[in-house]
Amino acid sequence: MQRNLQTRHDARQAAREYMTKNNFLEIETPVLVRATPEGARDYIVPSRTNPGKFYALPQSPQIYKQILMVSGCDRYFQFARCLRDEDLRQDRQPEHTQIDLEMSFVKADDVLEVVEGLHKHMWKKVLNVDIKYKFPRLSYAESMEKYGTDKPDLRFGLELIDVTSITKKSDFQVFNKSEMVKCINPPDKFSRNEIDDLIDFSTKNLGSKGLAWMRVTEKGLESNIVKFFNKDVQKKLLEKTKAKKGSILFFIADKGKTANEILGKLRVELGHRLKLIDKKDFKFCWIVDFPVFAWNEEDNKWTPEHHIFTAPKKEHLKYLDSDPGKVHADLYDLVLNGSEIGGGSIRIHDEEIQNNVFETLGISKEEANNKFGFLLSALKYGAPPHGGIAFGLDRVLQILTEEDSIREVIAFPKNKNASDLMMDSPSPVNEEQLKEVNLKLDMGKKGK
């Protein structure tokens, strides 16, 4: 723990040094804020002096930093404490620290260049490791196609291969009836027991309907399904996959998105089982060209893929009203070793476009003015083009220290129930405190 806390200190100092050298101003934004929807539940704080009203604890400083850009502050950063009332998992805590930054009069390339320099500086100062390569960029579509995820681990290969058009010419009905058939080609030999174990893992842990396979031998392809594939189809499979003798092909057949996601997870599992991952290696990449909106089948409406202040690409503005699914954004996620460590975008700086986005999401003018009137008012005065990013310091430190959980790099972490066992919090408060903030508890069945 002492080592991890020292590393945390060193990383913060390195980040502050780099940002200051690059003319960023460190500015603290409020912790008691107005509740606004940002994708997770807010922690709310009752106001004693304003009975019946509540503050929220910030999920991010997003709106404040955009207003700073409007006010004429052109380079801002801070170590922002962010709080989200959400279910916990290995890489989540109810409170975490972000390195948050914003810049005026920039394009996406300008932000990406600053952030690459920041991480290279941190790695050099903290680990004495030189990151000499330029971070590669993958479009969201390309990342999903090749790796089955928008958080690809580039420390090893095993790219996914689309063989749908080839397998449609076979007599194997499972493949013929599926929207997509994709495969992966590990170089190692697998025993029948190892194959059966992977099939079991795929169905029980990944939710696949099955895992087909073919061995590549001296005689060609071998498996219990090869009989459904004529020689020409087998030849085209080998040409497409470039599979070598002694290797194996694993296939997933399903709907497009499902096939990609399942095979992408299997790829990571194979990377661990075959010991293809070097923990001392650091592979950064940018994921760009995200869609702005996603269709929510349950609610029957468009929802934002990231946050609602992301600027659509200029050439896609024409689709806002007619076909929102075609609208892509100047969005970028920073990925390191298969973990998303940061995300940002160029922001909307035009009030009319912001209102159009609200309308597409089903947010009425009244609701927009009620929740975001202060931002819309600021945009009326002429906001500069601006953009930024925030990345989780805790996640970065988890990777830097080779820990399995961000809890190991936080001095006083919460457990999986968001509880602090040492301080015994959260805890009840007395009636007098509740009266002071004009609250009365109704626990219902939970209190019995």
Quick: pLDDT tens for 417-426. 889 999 999 9
pLDDT at 92 (0 to 100) = 81
Residue range 265-277: mean pLDDT, rounded = 96
How would DSSP label each residue in 276-319? Answer: ---TT---EEEEE--BSEEEETTTTEEEESS-TTBPBPGGGTTH
- Peptide bond connecting 426 to the previous residue in cis, omega within 30 degrees of 0: yes
CA angle 102, 89, 30 (to 5 degrees): 35
pLDDT at 367 (0 to 100) = 87
Structure pTM? 0.90
Contacts of residue 218, Cβ cutoff 8 Å, sequence gap at least 6: 245
**pLDDT exceeds cutoff 90 at 55:** yes
> Higher pLDDT residue, 444 or 69?
69
**Three-state DSSP state, 349:** coil
Q: How far apart are CA 446 and CA 430, in angstroms?
A: 18
**Lowest mean pLDDT segment, chosen from 24-28, 161-165, 238-242, 278-282:** 278-282
How would DSSP label each residue in 216-282? Answer: EETTEEESTTGGGS-HHHHHHHHHHHTPPTT-EEEEEEESHHHHHHHHHHHHHHHHHHTT---TT--
pLDDT category at 91 given cuts 50, 70, 90 is low
Taking the CA atoms of residue 218, residue 220, residue 224 and residue 230 in that order, the dihedral angle to the nearest 10 degrees is: -160
Q: Please, is 317 exposed, middle or buried when counting C-beta atoms within 10 Å of its C-beta (0-12, 13-18, 19+)?
A: middle
pLDDT digits (tens, 9 = 90+) for 311-356: 999 899 999 888 999 999 999 999 999 999 999 999 999 888 998 8
**pLDDT exceeds cutoff 60 at 396:** yes
pLDDT digits (tens, 9 = 90+) for 115-132: 999 999 999 999 999 999
pLDDT at 148 (0 to 100) = 97
| Residue 227 phi, psi (nearest 5) | -60, -20
Q: How far apart are CA 103 and CA 286, in angstroms?
A: 18
% of the chain at pLDDT higher than 90: 76
CB atoms within 10 A of CB 272: 11
Residue with tokens 């914003």: 102
Mean pLDDT rounded to a whole number for the chain: 92
Domains of the chain: 1-138+338-349+384-448 (3.30.930.10), 156-273 (3.30.1360.30)
pLDDT at 448 (0 to 100) = 46
Q: How far apart are CA 427 and CA 433, in angstroms?
A: 13
> Higher pLDDT residue, 287 or 352?
287
